Amino acid sequence: MEIPEHIRAEYSFSSQWSTVDDHQLHYVDEGAGRAVIMLHGNPTWSFLYRNVIKSLRDQCRCLALDHIGCGLSDKPQDYAYTLKQHISNAVAWIEQLRLESFDLIVHDWGGAIGMGVAQELPNKVGKVVILNTAAFFVDRIPKRISICRIPMLGDLIVRGFNGFAGPATSMAVSKPLSKTVKEGFLLPYNSWSNRVAILRFVQDIPTRESQETFQVLKRIEKFLPNLARHPVLIGWGRKDFCFDDRFLERWQALYPEANVLAYPKSGHYILEDEKNTLIPQIKDFLIE
């Protein structure tokens, strides 16, 4: 997919590729120094981390992955878009990079994926930055997300009318995004076929013990206390309609020594709402 010049002004990185199970994973690899892996969620892509990369690349090696089905990565239509598969892809990618250690930044579904990676590679993980995400069970799915899980109707809303990624560019922020930034977030999701992973992420939200993802998340949740000895920074937009304060409180209970930066007027896309405040704090945390 070609990136228009006006979006390139925001996302001015060279594309890198990794082959995993015959599919092409796209990622950003900028800078040198200690590796910092950045994992996005739904419905974003590595574009979410563009300002973090620009801030860190003078002192860190910034590695931002597009999950299969997302961003510039391949978007197969018949594919196991599950938490287990995304974790497996990320681990395979990291192993191809031959990293001895790395710090981790996670957002949205990137939290469950990233903590799954940490579970698989516990001796390689250093500092952890947690941004409006979860890697544990909460007995609530917002109604507007539940609607998108309804068979056929969800397909029409998410894949047909772009009724998940599109509204997110307004609903996930408290400070309006520029036209170019909105276009950047939506660029990879411009057709029915290109929105397949967005719907599959929503459908994969675990609600029943019979689901594979339920069991995967259950194991990740048991692992989370093992990261309590690691330096943790939590950046949180408290106007998030999905990941509300209950999620923040759970993270704080897991990591009582974490440095918590909570922003009462900011939303789910915290790196957009607080790019001038939170990103410098992330930089200080990672390079100190």
3 within domain boundaries = no
Number of domains forming the structure of the chain: 1
For the cut 90, the answer to whether the pLDDT of residue 128 exceeds it is yes
Per-residue pLDDT tens over the stretch 190-234: 999 999 999 999 999 998 889 999 999 999 999 999 999 999 999
**Percentage of the residues of the chain whose pLDDT score is greater than 70:** 100
Q: In whole angstroms, what is the distance from residue 23 CA to residue 107 CA?
A: 23
Distance of CA 250 to the CA centre of its chain: 19
42 within domain boundaries = yes
123 within domain boundaries = yes
CB–CB of 31/103 below 8 Å?
A: no
3-class DSSP assignment, residue 173: coil
211 within domain boundaries = yes
2 within domain boundaries = no
pTM over 0.75: yes
1 within domain boundaries = no
Q: Which domain holds residue 34?
A: 9-287
Whole-number Cα distances in Å, 159 to 26, 104, 141, 165: 22, 30, 20, 10
69 within domain boundaries = yes
60-65 and 23-30 strand pairing: antiparallel
CATH code at position 131: 3.40.50.1820
For the cut 90, the answer to whether the pLDDT of residue 115 exceeds it is yes
124 within domain boundaries = yes
134-167 in b/e form (b: 16+ CB < 10 A) is bbbeeeeeeeebeebbeeeebbebbbeebbbbbe
pLDDT value of residue 141: 77
Q: In whole angstroms, what is the distance from residue 46 CA to residue 264 CA?
A: 25
Q: In whole angstroms, what is the distance from residue 30 CA to residue 58 CA?
A: 9
3-class DSSP assignment, residue 196: helix
